[in-house]
Structure 1
Amino acid sequence: MIRFVLFAFVLGLAASHAEARTSVVRSGEHRTFTRLTVQVPQNARWSIFNHQSVSEISVDQPEILFDTSQVFNRIPKKRLIDLEQSGPGGALLLTLGCECDVTGFKLDDTMLVIDIKDPEENPTTEATEPAPIQGGPFGFSQSNPHETAARREDFRLPAPVGFNRNMQPQLPPDPAVPDGLAERSTDVAINISEQRLLEQIARASQQGLITPVSPNRPAKADPVTATGQIGTAEQTFPAAPNVNIVAATSIDRDMKNAAGLFPATAAKQQCLSADMVSISEWSDGRTFSEQIGELRAEVFEEFDRLDKAALRNLAKTYLHFGFGAEATDALQMTGNPEPEDMVLLALAKIVDDDPIETVNPLDGQESCTNEAALWAVLSHPELASAADPDTIQQAFARLPLHLRAYLGPRLSQVFSRSGDPNLAAAILRATDRSGETAGPAQDFAHAVLQNSRGNVEDARRKMTDAVDQNTEFSPEALIELIETHWVERLPIAPDLPDLAAAYAVELRMSEMALAMHRAHAISLALSGAFDAAFAQVSEIAELYGGPAKEQASIPVLFLLAENADNVTFLKHAMNSASANETALPVELEDATASRLLELGFPETAMTYLSAKETGPASSGRRLMRTEAAIALGLPHRALIELLGVTGPEAERLRADAMWQNGDVKRASEILQDSLGDEAARRGFWLSDSLDQVDTGTDSKYATLTEISLRLQEEAAAPEASAPLASARALLSGSERTREEIDSLLGLARDSSAAN
C-alpha cells in the first residue's frame, strides 16, 4: 500500500511538471532600448504594471514558466538588472537599473515583445506612477483613464477592441505604434458615439481602407518615395516601425477564418515578397560562365542603350553565385535604383559582409516568415532573437550549397551569440552536409558554439587552434579567446598580450581595431601587468573617446580588485576614485570598496559606496557603508545606514556604532541578545551593570564581575561589636581586599592590552 501511494505521488509530481509550459525569454540590446521576447500561447492575454524600479509582466496562462537563463548572455546589466518568476503561472518581475519606460506589444499573436526604453531627456510632464498596460490576444492595450485625462496632448488614432463597463470611454496608447500614430491622451468626456466612431476608424485602418496621417511625423528617408511607387503591398518597404493597430469584429474573424484574407498585423503587410530574396531561384542550372556570358551580352540593346531588366538579372545571377561586389557594379549601371534594386544592393553588401551604408530595406524583416528574415538577421545580428528559428532553418536549407557553406558559419555565430545554441548547431550541421571541405570559418564557428554552450575547455582549444592557423579569423578568435579567459578568470599564456598588441597595430584602420585594443588591455591585466593595462586604457580613451574607455576599463578594474597586490591596487583604485569619470557596475564598486576597507582606507571606500545609484542599495553595500562610517567616526550615519537591516553582522555593527556613540549599556544588550559573546560582558562591566553579567561562565569578564561583587559585599558588611575582633576582621579583610584588587587590576590590564 505504501509503495502504491509513493508511486501515485511521483506520477502526480511528474504530471504537474509536465503541465508547465516553458517559454524561453530572449534578449537584445539597442542604442536606446533593451528588448525581451518570449513565445506565449495564441490568444493569451497579458499585462504590464510598472512600479518605481520594478515592472511586473503577467500572462493569463497558469502553466507558463519563463526560462530566463539566457537573458544576460546578450545584454549587460544596465537597463535590466535582474528578472525572476516565483513559479509556473507567476508574474515575471523585472528589476530595472534606470528610470526606463517598459512597454510591450504582441507580434504574430504568439510572440510577446517587451521594450525597456531610456527615459526622455526633456520630459514635459512630471513623472507619475505609470498605470498598468494590459494586452489581449489582438495586441491592444488598456490604461488608467484618469492618467490619460491628466495629459493634454495631441489626439491620435486609438486601437479599441471592445467595451468594459467599468471603464471610462477613452482609449490608451498602444506601445507598438510609432510616435506618429500613437495615441497619447484621450478625453474622458468622449461619449459613446465618438467611441464607436473611433473604433470604426481604427478597424478601417487595420483593414487597409484608410491610412492614418500624423502632421507631426518627422521627416525620414523612405526608399519607396525616393524611387517610385511599388505595385503590390508585399513589396512595400518598412520605412517606419511596425504599426500595431488592431480592431476586429466577429464578422472580421469569420472572414479571416473563411478566406484567409484578413491580415493579423500590419507587420505582415510590410514583409518583402519572397521573390525579392529567393536567391536559390536566380539560376537556371547552367555553369557560372555560361549564364554570366549570356546575360552580359543582353545588357546593351540597340543604339547601346542599357537594358535595366537584363542588368537586374545579371546582378541576381552574381548574387546566386556569391559575388556581391560584381552585383553592386551591375546595379549601379542602372542609374536611379528602383525599390527592387535597393533590396539587391542590400543583399550584395550582406554577401560580402560589408555594412549597409544607405537605407536598409531589410529593417524590420527579421520577424517575417520567408527568406527575408534570414537576410535581415545577417544585416542586423543584434535582432536575431526576434526571428523564428523554423523560418531561419527553412530559409537556410533553401540556399544553394555554396552559399550554405559560405554563410553558414557566419549565421551560426550570430545565433550562438544571441543565446540560441541549438539553432546555431543545426545551421552548422546543415553547413557540414553541404559537401564543402570544412575551413577556418567553420572551425571558428564551432569554437563560438562550444563557448556559448559553456564547454569552456573545448572552446579554448578550438580558439587556440584558430589563432595558430593565422587565417582571416585569427584576430577574431584571439579576441574571443581573451574574452573567455576574462569571463572564466583563467590564467593566460604569456605570449597572448604581445600577439594582441601586434594585431592592434596591424588592424588599427579596421572595424576590429577597438575590440583588439580592448582585448590587449584585458590580456595585460590577466597577466598581472596592471600599469601597462591602464596605459592601454588611456590610449583607448585618446583614440576612441569616453564610452570606449568605459568598456575597456571595467574588466581591468575587476581584475585589479581581485588579483593585484596591495600597492598596485591602492595606486589605481585611488586614481579611479579621484577621477570619477566612469560609471562602474555595482558589483565592481562593492568589490573595490570591500578591499579598501580591509586595507584601512574607509574614506576612499565611501567614495565608491556613495556613487549615484538607480535603485535601493543592497544589504551588503549598506553594511559596508556602516563599517566605513564607524571607521570615520560617524556613528549616527552608521545607525541610519543600518535602518531595516537585520542579521548577525548588522547587529555587531549596530553595537559598535552605539559603543562609539557612548551608549555602552545598550550596545552590550544588543550583543548579548544577538551574539552573547565576551564583548557583551565587557560592556556591562564597563557600564557598571554587573547584575546583567552572566557569572556562570569561565571567562575573563565573568571573573572580574565576581571580584567586583565581592568587593562591594565586603564594603557593605557590618562591623563586629568587640573592638579586638573588629580590628582582627579589619586586618584580615584588608589583606583579602588587597589580593582581590591585585587580581582585578591584573585582569583589567590583560583586557586593556587585548583590546
Structure 2
Amino acid sequence: MMARATSLTLVSLVWLWAGSVATPVVADTLRVRSGDHEGFTRLVIDTGTSPGWTLGRTGTGYELRLARDDVDFDLSAVFRQISRNRLDAISEGSAPGRLALTVPCDCHATAFVTGSGALVIDIADGAAPNGSVFERRVDPAAGNTEVPEETPTTTPVEASATPVEGAASDLFFWKGPESGQRPLAADPRLAIFWRGTDVPPARAPTEERAPVPAPQETPQAAVAPNTFGPAETTDVMTEADPILPALPDPRVTEAQAELLHQLSRAAAQGLVEVNRPAVTDRMDEPPHEAAVAEALSPAEPAASQQSSIHAETSIDRDTLSTITRQPVTAEGGRCYPDSTFDLAHWGDDRPATIQIAERRAPLVGEFDRPSQDAVLALARLYLFFGFGAEARAVLASFGVESEDISALHELSEILDGGTPGAGATIAAMTGCDTAAALWAVLAWPDLPPDAEIDEGAVLRAYSALPVHLRRSLGPELSDRFLSVGHEAAARAVRDAIARAPGDAGAALDLVDAQIDLAGGRADTGEQALDLLARSNDPLSVDALIMAIESRLARGQAVEPDLADSAAALAFELQDGPEGPVLNQLHILARGSGRDFDQAFDAYRHWAGPAPDIVRADTGRRLFAMLGERESEDNAFLVQYFRNRDILDAAGPDLILSLDLAERLADNGFTGEAQRLLKGEAGYSDRGRRLLAHAALSEFDPAGALEQLAGLGDREAEELRAEASAMAGDHAAAATRYAGVGETEKAGREAWRGGDWTLAAKSGPETMRSALEALSVAPGTAIAVAETKAEPAGPLAKSRILIEESRSVRSALDTLLAATDDGG
C-alpha cells in the first residue's frame, strides 16, 4: 500500500486566494519554450506569478491574453525544438500581453497551469472536443482584463483579475481597493479572509438569487477551467448578508489526526511506503526553470489531478506484479527497457559545444557535491554524439550510482567501435522486444549461428536513432545480419539509411556493397568498395578492409596499390582497433601476390601492438599461401626453411601441418615432414599415409606397413603394394595392384615374381608381345609351329633354327626394354 495524505485546510484556501488576487507587477519578459511530442506540440510560458489569462480562437489560429499588459515574450527559441507542422508562426499580438499563434493544420489547442505556475498550451492533432472552452472566438476590441460574460450553459471560468458574475465559480475577484468594489464570494466560509471589507450579513438560502446577465450576441473567448469548488454554489451575496466562518467539525479533525498517526506508525514499521517527489539539485537554475521543465514533459495534464492515494491488497499486489513485470527474452532472461537506450532524446541538433557547455554547468551543486542527474545527462549527451570514451570518463570521474551505469558503459564501448562480446550483460538480449536487442546484436563481433534475434525490435530501435548514428552504425549492423544470412534485415538497414534526410553519403554505398558481396555479386561489390577505399571518406578504411577480405576469400590476388594503402593505414592507425586488422590484411595481400619476401618482412616488422591470436592467425594463413601448389618448389623450400620459426611460434593447425608435410615429402625432405606430423596430425589417416610414404622414401617397407595397418582406402593399398614389392614379396604386390585395378603394375610384379603367365596377361603391351614371342602365352608360336610340316633337309632345319634364334633374341630385347624401369 502506498499513501500520501493530503488535506485542504483553510490556510490552503488563503494561499489559493492570495495567488489569484491581482497585484502590481513590474515589467517582465516571459520566455516561451517548446517541444514536439507524439500527437501534439507543447508551448510553455514561464508566467512566474500565474496571472489571469484567456485563450480563444482567431481567424488564423489562437490568441493568448494575459491579465497583464506590462509584459513581453521571448520567442527566440520556439522553433529550435519543434517543426512548423502544427505551429506555423508565433508572434506578439495586437496589444501588450497578447500572443498570436498561427495554426496551419486541422488541430486544436488546450491550456492549463501546472502546479509550479507555468502556463502550458498544447496544440494537438484533430478536431477539438465538443464544448471545448478554448474554441470560442476572442473579441479583437476587448481588453486583456475584460472577461466575456458566460453563456447560459455553465462553463468553467478561471481566476481573473476582474469580477465575473453569473459564472460557475466559487470565487469572484475584484480589481482592488481603489475600485471601490467589494469582493463577492459564493462560499460563506471564505469571507473571513477578505481584508479591508466589512463582513456582509448572511442571507437565507431561499432568497432570490441575483440575476445573471444575458450572454452577448457575439461569442467571446472562454477562459480556463476553475478548480476552486463545485459548480452548484453560484449564489451572489449582497452587502446585507452576514457571513460567519464555518469552523471544521471537531470529529473530522480528530479522525484526520488519528489517520495521520496510524499512517505514520505503519510507515515506521515498513508496512506502507510514502511516495515522495524526488528532490533534484536546481541551485543553478532560474527561479521558474523547474516549472518549465515539468511543463515540457509529454505527460498528460490530467495526470496531476489524479488521486495521490493508492491502496491495494497483498493479493492485488502479487497478481498485478505478474502483469507489470519488465520485458524478458524468450528464455526468460532480463531485458533493458527502451528508456535505457533512448539516444534520440539525449541531445538535439544544436552545436555540440553549446549542448556540452549547458550540461557541464550544473554538474556540481551546493557544497561541491555532484548532481547524479546532471552527470548522467552529460554522459548521455556524449553518447548521443558518439563519444564513448568521454562518456566513460564522466561516469568514472564522479562515481555516480545508477541501475543504468552498466548499460551505458557497454553502449559507450560499442559506439567506440568495440565489441564487448559474450561477457557483456547486454549480449544475451538479442531476443528482447526492446531497444536492447539492437545493442545486443552490435555487442557481438560475430553473432552465434543459433542466436535468437528479434529483428523487428532491432530495426525499430535502429530507425529511431539520430541520423548521424544511423549512418555510423549502419554498415556494422548490416554486416551482423549478413553474417547469419538475414539479407532482408540488412536491406531494411540500408533503407533506413537511404530515407534519412540529407545526403546518405558513403554509408549507403558501403551497405550496398555488403549486400552485393553476400548475394554472390562479387565483381559489383568489389568495384564499389575499391572506389570508396581509394577516397578520403572516413569509411574508406572499412571499405579497404572489406575489399581485401573479399579477394582473399575468393583466392584472388590483391592489387599492389590496395596492399600499399593497407600498409600505410596500418602504420597510421597502429594504436587503434583497426591497426591489427590492417597489418594482417597487408601481409596477406602481399602473400596473395606471391611476394613472400615483403610479406614475411612485414610480419617480422609488425607495426604497433597486436593480440597474439591475430599474429598467430596471420602466420598460419601466410604459410598456407606458401604451401599452395602455385608457388614454385624452390621458392617454397627457401621461404619455408628461412621462416620456419614463425610457423613454430604460430602453431600450425592440423590441415596446414598435413599440407606442408606432403609438399616437403614430395620434394624429398621426409625428415622435416615427419617433424611436422608429430602429434595429432600423425594420427590422422592422411598423416599415417604421409608417414608411410616417408618410410618408403627411406627404404623402410616394414615401417610403411606398420603405419598403414587398419587403413583400407585405395591409396593405402597402393602404398602396401609398393612396400611389399620393396620387401621382395612380388606375388603379394601383384595381387594388391590387381585389387586396385593397376593391371600393368600387377603384371610387372608378376614378371618379377616369375609368374610369366600372369605377366603375359596383365603386363604392359610390350611385355605381353615379348612373352608371346617366347612362346609363353597360350596360342603362341609354339602351338602354331606344331601345325607346320617338318622340313625335309638339314639345310632347311638349320635355317629354321637361325630364324628362331633371331626371334628369341628380339623378344628378350623387347622384354628387357619393357622392364627397364626397374621392374
User: Is the shorter-chain TM-score for this pair beyond 0.5, marking a shared fold?
Assistant: yes
- Stretch of structure 1 that moved more, 299-308 or 654-663: 299-308
Q: Is it true that 1:278 corresponds to 2:342 in the alignment? A: yes
Q: Secondary structure at the match of 1:347?
A: helix
Structure 2 residue aligned with 1:364 = 428
- Which residue, 685, 693, 708 being the options, matches 1:642? 708
Structure 1 residue aligned with 2:732 = 666
Alignment of 1:259-658 (within 5 A): 268=332, 270-280=334-344, 282=346, 301=365, 306-317=370-381, 319-320=383-384, 322=386, 324=388, 327=391, 331=395, 334-353=398-417, 362-383=426-447, 386=451, 387-417=453-483, 419-540=485-606, 544=610, 547-562=613-628, 563-575=630-642, 580-608=648-676, 610-613=677-680, 617-618=684-685, 620-646=686-712, 648-658=714-724
Structure 2 distance, partners of 1:684, 1:264, is 77
Structure 2 distance, partners of 1:754, 1:508, is 60
- CA shift at 1:582, angstroms? 3.3
Matched-pair contact (CA < 8 Å) for 1:405–1:434: no
Residue identity matched to 1:751 = A
Structure 2 residue aligned with 1:675 = 741
Matched-pair contact (CA < 8 Å) for 1:256–1:262: no
Matched-pair contact (CA < 8 Å) for 2:563–2:590: yes
Residue identity matched to 2:415 = V
Structure with a larger share of its residues in helix = 1
- CA shift at 1:280, angstroms? 3.8
Residue identity matched to 1:595 = R
Residue identity matched to 1:498 = D
Residue identity matched to 2:700 = L
Structure 2 distance, partners of 1:310, 1:264, is 30
Matched-pair contact (CA < 8 Å) for 1:271–1:368: yes
Structure 2 distance, partners of 1:526, 1:707, is 58
The 3 A distance-change label for structure 1 pair 334 and 538 is: closer
Provide the TM-score with structure 2 as the length reference.
0.52
- CA shift at 1:317, angstroms? 5.0
Q: Is it true that 1:747 corresponds to 2:814 in the alignment? A: yes
Q: Secondary structure at the match of 2:696?
A: helix
- CA shift at 1:462, angstroms? 1.9
Query: Structure 2: which 5+ residue stretches go unaligned?
Result: 1-318, 783-790
- Stretch of structure 1 that moved more, 267-276 or 327-336: 327-336
- CA shift at 1:518, angstroms? 1.5
Structure 2 distance, partners of 1:590, 1:564, is 17
Residue identity matched to 1:429 = D
Matched-pair contact (CA < 8 Å) for 1:405–1:436: no
Structure 1 distance, partners of 2:439, 2:762, is 81
Structure 2 distance, partners of 1:511, 1:709, is 82
- CA shift at 1:663, angstroms? 0.4
Matched-pair contact (CA < 8 Å) for 2:701–2:727: yes
Matched-pair contact (CA < 8 Å) for 2:347–2:381: yes
The 3 A distance-change label for structure 1 pair 640 and 727 is: farther
Provide the TM-score with structure 1 as the length reference.
0.56
Residue identity matched to 2:371 = D
Based on CA coordinates, which of the two structures has the bigger radius of gyration? Answer: 2
Structure 1 distance, partners of 2:528, 2:341, is 34
Matched-pair contact (CA < 8 Å) for 1:300–1:306: yes
Structure 1 distance, partners of 2:390, 2:753, is 92
Structure 2 distance, partners of 1:711, 1:458, is 67
Structure 2 distance, partners of 1:545, 1:351, is 21
- CA shift at 1:659, angstroms? 0.5
Q: Secondary structure at the match of 1:528?
A: coil
Residue identity matched to 2:651 = A
The 3 A distance-change label for structure 1 pair 277 and 496 is: closer
Matched-pair contact (CA < 8 Å) for 1:377–1:384: no
Alignment of 1:18-417 (within 5 A): 268=332, 270-280=334-344, 282=346, 301=365, 306-317=370-381, 319-320=383-384, 322=386, 324=388, 327=391, 331=395, 334-353=398-417, 362-383=426-447, 386=451, 387-417=453-483
- CA shift at 1:464, angstroms? 0.8
Residue identity matched to 1:586 = L
Matched-pair contact (CA < 8 Å) for 1:324–1:351: yes
- CA shift at 1:568, angstroms? 1.0
- CA shift at 1:393, angstroms? 1.9
Q: Secondary structure at the match of 1:670?
A: helix
Partner deviation per Cα, 1:617-654 (whole Å, 9 max, x = no partner)? 24x55444433332221222323343444455443332
- CA shift at 1:275, angstroms? 2.6
- CA shift at 1:530, angstroms? 1.1
- CA shift at 1:731, angstroms? 6.1
Residue identity matched to 2:547 = L
Structure 1 residue aligned with 2:156 = none
Partner deviation per Cα, 1:306-326 (whole Å, 9 max, x = no partner)? 432244345445544655566
Q: Secondary structure at the match of 2:722?
A: helix
Structure 1 distance, partners of 2:610, 2:350, is 50
Structure 1 distance, partners of 2:734, 2:592, is 47
The 3 A distance-change label for structure 1 pair 536 and 630 is: same
Matched-pair contact (CA < 8 Å) for 1:492–1:527: yes
Structure 2 residue aligned with 1:213 = none
Q: Secondary structure at the match of 1:489?
A: coil
Structure 2 distance, partners of 1:507, 1:601, is 42
Matched-pair contact (CA < 8 Å) for 2:691–2:707: yes
Structure 2 residue aligned with 1:690 = 756
In the alignment of these two chains, the number of paired residues is: 491
Structure 2 distance, partners of 1:344, 1:622, is 55
Q: Secondary structure at the match of 1:638?
A: helix
The 3 A distance-change label for structure 1 pair 681 and 406 is: closer
Q: Secondary structure at the match of 1:381?
A: coil
Structure 1 distance, partners of 2:331, 2:762, is 80
Query: Structure 1: which 5+ residue stretches go unaligned?
Result: 1-254, 716-723
CA RMSD of aligned residues (A): 4.4
The 3 A distance-change label for structure 1 pair 290 and 391 is: same
